[in-house]
Structure 1
């Protein structure tokens, strides 16, 4: 029996527990991938894999990974992660959260062709590791704030007009980001400072010498924002995995918004502190920003 709906997700609202009907079980490497109708688990996004998957349990079994899956309407083959052949949200496809375990959950049954529906009415309990979720949420919130603060600190280096962020500063983060990785209580972001960025008008002259002052400016702005106890919320237009969610933060200067499918804290004050380190590669082609928060500062 084919899958007829996309997975509904409750993690944008901060949920870490739930109970749902098992829809299907698919093979994932040497393990088993369970698909349910609704889940609190945040999966790894195959298109921009910045935030790691949630850990926890499903049906009492440890979830060793949680990945994004997709299946075409009326078909039975579930594609996973990098093997998904279409863009996220493509019409005619159902988008799925696949919970990977070493053993099959009690209500699932693995078919020879790799796809089967569960028994009628079967449900499982889903429990996310709340401490791990909170650490990743802190890292993701800090990542957005640090990017905004970095944009402000680098604003004077632009010689041409470029798209601005929500605070009106040239959006260096979006123009130069090469990779972003959310960590427990922090993030690791790499920016490419190549010809393309310079043609857009960004000046790199003297950047290495100015990095300590830039880091100080970023840190000072972040401290101000944490002290403001600015509210953070996620705008969720629908429960489907592929719904276009948006991060909002009511900073003292203005409320800013950034498209984001991750999880977050509910206020800037919950971060406690943010420490930012900036490093320029030896050839000047990459800028790395490492962000750590609260009890993780200096230790991640």
Structure 2
């Protein structure tokens, strides 16, 4: 079978769940599953380069049968080899490589190159992860504002003009159903940059209240959210855009989102402080009431 030469077109950034597509390649993954690659996909895939949001769940329908998609990952090919997930040897967008959505299904399925299929992402899973991702971005902006007084030196600023603690100190970010977990390194370089960590451990509850209340205000205002995109390809740049009372915030993002911060009604934020090999780690957890 020939390998694709063009990036997968994706429709999940605009909220689409279902898309009729043409199979352009079928490959066997190392774990025995089949990787189904289509010309277009409504599935959000996991990206090993920044694995914050998990893949959608759902099905591929072919020949009248609904086949479970066991996982979806970013794949890439230079025309000679196909690499999946963490095996991709180059950065996304590298010239001469096509970047693809690979839908992983059980082996033994009779799907072949050229088949027309229907890709369906599960609506409940998508919504819960979208709420978690939107909460993550909103919380990062609220956290930056709440910590602004701890900077004694000029620092790069975020989308609202506050010192970008989130962008400077982030170690990892994980989107969960209706929530998120972000971990920040309070290391020597952060302190040299002018961030004061003194007394922070005693103020975690106050910090959580400030961030929660700020997000609650944005939810009550019904701030709208859209995903701006430069094009339909998997590699095209996309941005999370929220019309907040303080102004329009834009954050580069390849994930999925709800269309209004009103969906975050009832959000709660918690903080914890621990260590990783002697480096203090601040953890922020967001949780959105699931049945609202």
TM-score range, shorter chain: over 0.9
What is the root-mean-square deviation in Å for CA atoms of aligned residues? 1.3
Give the structure 1 partner of residue 69 of structure 2. 63
Give the structure 1 partner of residue 286 of structure 2. 291
Give the structure 2 partner of residue 170 of structure 1. 163
Q: Please tell me whether the aligned partners of residues 185 and 279 of structure 2 are also in contact (alpha carbons under 8 angstroms).
A: no
Deviation readout 1:183-208 (Å, 9 max, x if unpaired): 00000110000111111111100011
Matches within 5 A, 1:243-254: 243-254=236-247
2:80 to 53, 71, 76: 76
Give the structure 2 partner of residue 233 of structure 1. 226
Where structure 1 has 5 or more consecutive residues not aligned to the other structure, the ranges are 109-117
Q: Under a length normalisation based on structure 2, what TM-score does the superposition of the two structures give?
A: 0.94
- 1:90 maps onto 2:94 in alignment: yes
Give the structure 2 partner of residue 112 of structure 1. none
Q: Please tell me whether the aligned partners of residues 39 and 126 of structure 1 are also in contact (alpha carbons under 8 angstroms).
A: yes
- Local SS of the residue matching 2:234: coil
Give the structure 2 partner of residue 124 of structure 1. 117
Give the structure 2 partner of residue 43 of structure 1. 45
- Local SS of the residue matching 1:256: strand
Task: Report the number of matched residues.
Answer: 284
Q: Please tell me whether the aligned partners of residues 3 and 76 of structure 1 are also in contact (alpha carbons under 8 angstroms).
A: no
Aligned mates of 1:296, 1:89 — CA distance in 2:
39
Give the structure 2 partner of residue 113 of structure 1. none
Aligned mates of 1:296, 1:184 — CA distance in 2:
12
Give the structure 1 partner of residue 35 of structure 2. 33
Of stretches 209-218 and 144-153 in structure 1, the one that deviates more from structure 2 is: 209-218
- Local SS of the residue matching 1:133: helix
Matches within 5 A, 1:186-201: 186-201=179-194
* Cα distance change on mapping 1:130 and 1:193 into 2, 3 Å: same
Q: Please tell me whether the aligned partners of residues 185 and 296 of structure 1 are also in contact (alpha carbons under 8 angstroms).
A: no
Give the structure 1 partner of residue 147 of structure 2. 154
Give the structure 2 partner of residue 223 of structure 1. 216
Aligned mates of 1:104, 1:135 — CA distance in 2:
31
Deviation readout 1:5-63 (Å, 9 max, x if unpaired): 11000000000001110000111211100000000000001210000000100121101
Give the structure 1 partner of residue 198 of structure 2. 205
Q: Please tell me whether the aligned partners of residues 216 and 264 of structure 2 are also in contact (alpha carbons under 8 angstroms).
A: no
Give the structure 1 partner of residue 138 of structure 2. 145
Give the structure 2 partner of residue 281 of structure 1. 274
1:2 shift after superposition? 3.0
- Local SS of the residue matching 1:204: coil
Aligned mates of 1:95, 1:284 — CA distance in 2:
36
Aligned mates of 2:37, 2:108 — CA distance in 1:
11
Matches within 5 A, 1:250-265: 250-265=243-258
Aligned mates of 1:65, 1:47 — CA distance in 2:
16
Where structure 2 has 5 or more consecutive residues not aligned to the other structure, the ranges are none
